[in-house]
């Protein structure tokens, strides 16, 4: 069964990514637009709300695919949503090789949840913004449905 993020999951991503209608460089120097969209973004690019929503839908679909593909143990909707937000941020390649995924697939949910806090650096430096995001993701992950 292929799952999709709930409105709560999408709202989480929108809130932690923020909406920027003009291209900017993120903390790693990557050109970014809309809700953290990075594919084919160039200096000076702009978008409308409709384009931002379309970018979000496409990028979220990739995150959903990764969670559906790589997580082999049963997870609830909150866990799925939290993982989609996490993958949306770190990318499916990083997720596929992560200790978090390994622990999840061993059924070690609480240990896996602690792995959110490994991913709190930008360009090698601690980021309070990422820590705030990880707290929200971990809290949602651990919340019963």
Residue entry with tokens 């978008």: 47
Question: Is 106 a catalytic site residue?
Answer: no
pLDDT value, residue 136: 98
pLDDT value, residue 131: 98
| Contact by Cβ (8 Å): 90, 118 | no
Question: Is 17 a catalytic site residue?
Answer: yes
pLDDT value, residue 145: 73
pLDDT value, residue 94: 97
**Residue length of the chain:** 145
Q: Which two tokens stand for residue 102?
A: 């390994």
Q: Is 40 left (phi over 0), alpha (psi -120 to 50) or beta?
A: left
pLDDT value, residue 55: 98
Q: If the chain, 145 residues long, is cut into consecutive pieces of 10 residues, what is the mean pLDDT of each piece? A: 93 97 95 97 98 98 98 97 98 98 98 98 95 98 90
Residue entry with tokens 């990557």: 30
Q: Compute the distance between CA of residue 112 and CA of residue 108 in angstroms, rounded to an integer.
A: 6
pLDDT value, residue 114: 98
The active-site residue, picked from 14, 17, 64, 81, is 17
Which CATH number is 7-142's, of 3.40.50.1860, 1.10.530.40, 3.30.565.10, 1.25.40.10? 1.10.530.40
Residue ranges per structural domain of the chain: 7-142
Strand ranges inside the chain, DSSP E:
20-25, 31-34, 121-122, 125-126
pLDDT value, residue 144: 85
The pTM assigned to this predicted structure is 0.96
């Amino acid at each position: 069964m292929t799952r999709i993020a709930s409105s709560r999951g999408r709202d989480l991503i929108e809130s932690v990514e923020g909406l920027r209608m003009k291209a900017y460089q993120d903390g790693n120097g990557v050109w970014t637009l809309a809700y953290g969209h990075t594919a084919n973004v160039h200096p000076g690019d702009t978008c409308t709300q409709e384009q931002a929503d379309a970018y979000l839908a496409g990028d979220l679909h990739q995150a959903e695919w990764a969670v559906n593909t790589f997580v082999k143990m049963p997870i609830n909707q909150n866990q799925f949503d939290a993982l989609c937000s996490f993958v949306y941020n770190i990318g499916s390649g990083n997720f596929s090789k992560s200790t978090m995924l390994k622990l999840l697939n061993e059924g070690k949910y609480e240990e896996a949840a602690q792995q959110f806090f490994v991913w709190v650096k930008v360009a090698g430096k601690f980021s309070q913004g990422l820590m705030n995001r990880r707290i929200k993701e971990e809290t949602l992950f651990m919340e019963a449905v």
